[in-house]
Amino acid sequence: MAVPMKNGGMKSSKVIFYVILSGITTGIGAFFGAIIGGISQSIIAICLSFAAGAMIYIVSGELIPESNQLYSGRMTAIGNIAGLLLGILAMSI
């Protein structure tokens, strides 16, 4: 996280501040996640389904179009389909 900000010309003090801020929010989220996750198995399932939906949204909306722009051709589509099938296979075993 810090390397792209530093390479972009940001001051070291700002980079450190943003990295620490990111770490703090991650810790707070983990704390509340542990509290909420301890309530029941259903709550854990709901939280994980929201996280999975967010990841699918990011991949579908950002990563796949970006890969198609960078590398035009069939290999990006084949790679995306193979990755999806491999993920489905890994989850079914």
pLDDT at residue 84, rounded to an integer = 85
Write down the domain spans for the chain.
1-39, 44-93
Say how far apart CA 27 and CA 69 lie, in whole Å.
Answer: 36
Q: Could you tell me the pLDDT band of residue 81, with boundaries at 50, 70 and 90?
A: confident
Question: Is a pLDDT exceeding 80 seen at residue 72?
Answer: no
Considering only CA atoms, which of 58, 53, 59 is closest in space to residue 80?
59
Question: Is a pLDDT exceeding 80 seen at residue 22?
Answer: yes
